[in-house]
Amino acid sequence: KPRLLEVQDLRVEFRTREATANVLNGVGYHVDEGETLAVLGESGSGKSVTAQTVMGILDTPPGFVTGGSIRYRGEELLSAKEERRRELRGENMAMIFQDALSALNPVYTVGFQIAEQFRFRRGMSRKDAMVKAAEMLDMVKIPNAKQRVKEFPHQFSGGMRQRAMIAMSLALDPDLLIADEPTTALDVTVQAQIMDLLDELRRERDMGLILITHDLGVVAEVADRIAVMYAGRVVEESDAESLYKRPAHPYTEGLMESIPRLDQKGEELASIKGLPPNLADIPPGCPFHPRCHRAADECSEKLPELRELRAGRHSACHFAEELISRD
Ligand code: SF4
Ligand code: MG
């Protein structure tokens, strides 16, 4: 499958008068056509900032890209003109967010907001555009689409609003969709429905899908590959099956232990002790070492680079080989 997106050694700083935060410190990942990459990590790990930089919507200032490369179908985006980036947004790549309510404009009907794209970017008449908008709502399985295009965002349930936002993002038929915590605000049943919908749309359209999440459990069924981020780096990247079977990084192990399991109902979830580092003052050596139960002396001295352990498996832990060869 052709490579859709390739991010290499991406570096972003957030500069304020007081400090410079090293938010991305050499992020790399890729997505092929028709593939689902889950990007996993706690908040502050750089998942969203990477996505915003890919989309060209990073707030500058305070954010500054200080290095790296982002290629969409081979085209370098970091040096592309804003006009070109705007053209790519919507037509080629689109992004949806956790909070559909704030992404939708409360004073216009849902149909109007979807139709706008057909009017202004496809030159359709108001009437034809509304017909297309209803088709889009139907595509994301909103019942009674012809009626519901006339309703306002507040008349939709949380799950229906998220569906409407997906419809809006796919209006111009992009082949890369980035979903940033798309189900975090929803209850568990609706979460699963939205994941199924995204998975189905990906398959039908042969889209590349990037699912950003802090919850390994949510993406278990749909991810082909997983990139785990910590302190602005990818610390493990692997096919989903191998990663679930045997994580190659202690941070991933910690995230797996904090997945809610049905057989542990009522019990306190294990969570990784300690807090993510202050990005203006990242610890030397392995940034995870103050929280890592496997840390050895060298961990506070030497930064482990992300390296290939075996085909398709990458880890940035000094002891990754031992982790995956355990029984
Ligand atoms: Fe833990 Fe050391 Fe591996 Fe970092 S390099 S994750 S501190 S064992
Ligand atoms: Mg985020």
Give the domain range for residue 7.
3-92+210-325
Label residue 102 by pLDDT band (50, 70, 90): confident
Which tokens in the block code for residue 264?
């542990």
- How many angstroms separate the alpha carbon of residue 97 from the centre of ligand 2? 9
The string of pLDDT tens digits covering residues 233-243 is 999 999 999 99
Q: Which atom of ligand 1 is nearest to 251's Cα?
A: 6
The string of pLDDT tens digits covering residues 13-32 is 999 999 999 999 999 999 99
Residue 154 lies in a domain: no
Q: Which atom of ligand 1 is nearest to 304's Cα?
A: 5
As for how many domains the chain has, the answer is 1
Q: Average pLDDT, stretch 250-279? A: 76
The string of pLDDT tens digits covering residues 104-115 is 999 999 999 999
Residue 299 lies in a domain: yes
- How many angstroms separate the alpha carbon of residue 180 from the centre of ligand 2? 7
In angstroms, the first-to-last Cα distance of the chain is 34
pTM, 2 dp: 0.94
Residue 313 lies in a domain: yes
Q: Does residue 21 contact residue 13 with C-beta atoms inside 8 Å?
A: yes
Residue 132 lies in a domain: no
- How many angstroms separate the alpha carbon of residue 47 from the centre of ligand 2? 6
CA distance 235 to 134: 43
Residues with CB under 5 A from ligand 2 (ion): 48
- How many angstroms separate the alpha carbon of residue 251 from the centre of ligand 1? 8
Label residue 261 by pLDDT band (50, 70, 90): low
Label residue 151 by pLDDT band (50, 70, 90): very high
Higher-pLDDT residue of 263, 22: 22
Q: Which atom of ligand 1 is nearest to 300's Cα?
A: 7
Pocket residues for ligand 1 (CB within 6 Å)?
249-250, 286, 288-289, 292, 294-295, 299, 304, 317-319
Residue 187 lies in a domain: no
Q: Average pLDDT, stretch 205-218? A: 93
Residue 98 lies in a domain: no
Q: What is the CATH number of the domain that holds 235?
A: 3.40.50.300
Q: Does residue 70 contact residue 10 with C-beta atoms inside 8 Å?
A: yes
